[in-house]
Chain A
């Protein structure tokens, strides 16, 4: 079931009937949702719900999906079109860093790939280092960083070119509370700048704290979309916290992907 947001202007991203299968295994079954400009949209679901596959399709990593994507009302084909990918920033679940390069060198390299040059690149790198809290360690090799520092750099690289839509795939996995808090603060700053963010997680408190709206996914489908209180209403337990709503909607059986 889906509840698309009604808006006078087209949504920033529209996902319509998105389906995908890995050989014999169906990963997504007609997924529908819309994301408006400036919001943090959460994709919440147990393991194997289809969150990462959804992000991969939107990011352009997977191409042979069914359904349609639209960006500001126009057809959006990031797998085929590098121009469409220019709108996106991606923070993958796995740390995607060159450990033998410094943070600055990583930022320079990935900044170059998204088309930043010379002065713009230098400015973007400095902003990214501030966002990640890595100014002091910018010229140290990444392999000397803690897990939290790497996570912060991972985020800083994804938003380096100020993309229209930032996709974060479980960015806090394996991070200590201090670094997680720093990441949240960084995301709050991005929200204040008006950035649009898709945030996948299976931590309820993260979704509740950060996301304006949340889509709960299970077994390859979106089973509910809305604010935390709207989701509680949809689950028939008004005022309940997100964890209870989530378990009510997805059930208590184990999910093994």
Chain B
């Protein structure tokens, strides 16, 4: 037993000595968890930290009424804790046409039109009709916007809001519109009753606790009734106009399209790093020096690895998208040319990044450490795990997200899968140009490191 223990300790000591000999690898090993915790903390704080655990939904608007009531309504929407109203009060106003463009480009998913006559309608004791241009696949944001509109309308309608909205709720629950006057009477009576109830509660608060015994509130009813969620969503009368590419599959949701693209890009990066690490393995196995002494151009070995990784990456993408197509109804072949062009840009950028890591690292441990750190950071910041585009980030954080390959890859794939954009669309061209820019910069750096480390500038 003592021999077993002594030998185990000896083996552990040897392994520790080996482990700490690669100092860069050790630093990366410790830096990795710290870096990841930092990145996730940062992103979560940006997304949810200051807003009570909720992410706000961006709502664009145009005020065609420009009345006191509409201003009041908008002021209230600005304070709603589920909304982020755009444009900001000091930004230039939008028009219906510019909002339609934003919807088309994917910059907006819900755009509120406050039509002329909004204020007059509210002043006349009626719930005014609103218009909403929306991307119909963004259900989650739609729910949050409904809550925000309700809050806003409460504030804008003032004391009349409760009976207006109660009447609307009863209509939605099934009472015919012809009964509107009766509904108004009942809702006004209900409002009076509620006010009396609050008065009683305030008086009870002022009494000593001993006098309140036996005054328990009634138990909640457990009987099934109307669908209150849909009633709540419909309380504010909104005419919806849907903007979606006609060829988008009905079963496809925004988050599903986002997941397929995001996980695909992240796994592609992991796969290509592994391919690129073969360069290090060749050196460790002794085959690389043999290649270096052959008369073939030395840079060709780096580009050969690049080509290999590109082919493997393309095969990975084909398998992934085929799976997404079959199982999740992401119609990947809707526009095969755009899919091919976008995928090529993504592959080139990711492969160049993989080559850079492989050329920089001197051991496989270093390559694995730095690539895990960078890939997970880029995935979190770039929106591979959740739609970072829906979060309004401060300038520095926004710069960080825009500095990742993942962000531009996600923008291009979402442009294709969700918004149905062709590769010639400016948004797509910009994304692909940035990806190719990444590829050029990473390739130059990779060649520099490769020549320095492998092509004899110093002993390999």
**Interface on A for B, CB 8 Å cutoff?**
22, 59-64, 78-79, 82-83, 85-86, 88, 90, 92, 94-98, 110, 113-115, 157
**CB of A53, distance to nearest CB on chain B (Å):** 9
List the B residue with the shortest CB-CB distance to A106. Answer: B287
Residues of B within 8 A of A97 (CB): 287
Residues of A within 8 A of B457 (CB): 63-64
CB distance B292 to A82 under 8 Å? no
**CB of A75, distance to nearest CB on chain B (Å):** 17
Q: How far is the CA of A163 from the CA of B458 in the complex (A)?
A: 26
Q: Out of A64, A95, A115, which one reaches B286, CB within 8 Å? A: A95
Residues of A within 8 A of B293 (CB): 59-61, 78, 85, 88, 90
**CB of B234, distance to nearest CB on chain A (Å):** 65
Q: Which of B276-324 contact A (CB under 8 A)?
A: 285-287, 289-298
Q: How far is the CA of A32 from the CA of B32 in the complex (A)?
A: 51
List the A residue with the shortest CB-CB distance to B290. Answer: A96
CB distance B287 to A22 under 8 Å? no
List the B residue with the shortest CB-CB distance to A167. Answer: B293
CB distance A79 to B456 under 8 Å? yes
Q: Out of A62, A88, A98, which one reaches B456, CB within 8 Å? A: A62
CB distance A115 to B295 under 8 Å? yes
**CB of A197, distance to nearest CB on chain B (Å):** 15
**Interface on B for A, CB 8 Å cutoff?**
285-287, 289-298, 456-460
Q: How far is the CA of A97 from the CA of B291 in the complex (A)?
A: 11
**CB of A107, distance to nearest CB on chain B (Å):** 13
Residues of B within 8 A of A59 (CB): 293
Q: How far is the CA of A44 from the CA of B202 in the complex (A)?
A: 105
List the B residue with the shortest CB-CB distance to A60. Answer: B293
**CB of A125, distance to nearest CB on chain B (Å):** 16
CB distance A86 to B295 under 8 Å? yes
**CB of B456, distance to nearest CB on chain A (Å):** 5
Could you say which of A64, A96, A110 has the most chain B C-beta atoms within 10 Å of its C-beta? A96
5 shortest interchain CB distances as A-B pairs: A94-B286, A96-B290, A86-B295, A113-B294, A85-B295
CB distance A22 to B456 under 8 Å? no
**CB of A64, distance to nearest CB on chain B (Å):** 7
CB distance A82 to B456 under 8 Å? no
CB distance B297 to A82 under 8 Å? yes
List the A residue with the shortest CB-CB distance to B460. Answer: A61
Using A59-B293, A88-B293 as known contacts, say yes or no to A96 and B456 having CB atoms under 8 A apart.
no
CB distance B292 to A60 under 8 Å? yes
Using A82-B295, A85-B295, A113-B296 as known contacts, say yes or no to A63 and B456 having CB atoms under 8 A apart.
yes
Q: How far is the CA of A94 from the CA of B460 in the complex (A)?
A: 14
Given contacts A61-B289, A96-B287, A114-B295, 15 further A-B contacts (CB under 8 A): A60-B293, A61-B456, A61-B460, A64-B458, A78-B293, A79-B456, A82-B295, A82-B296, A85-B293, A85-B294, A85-B295, A86-B295, A96-B289, A113-B294, A115-B296
Residues of A within 8 A of B297 (CB): 82
Residues of A within 8 A of B286 (CB): 92, 94-96
**CB of B450, distance to nearest CB on chain A (Å):** 15
The 5 listed contacts between A and B (C-beta, < 8 Å) are A22-B459, A82-B296, A90-B290, A113-B294, A114-B294
Q: How far is the CA of A82 from the CA of B291 in the complex (A)?
A: 12
Residues of A within 8 A of B290 (CB): 90, 92, 96, 110, 157
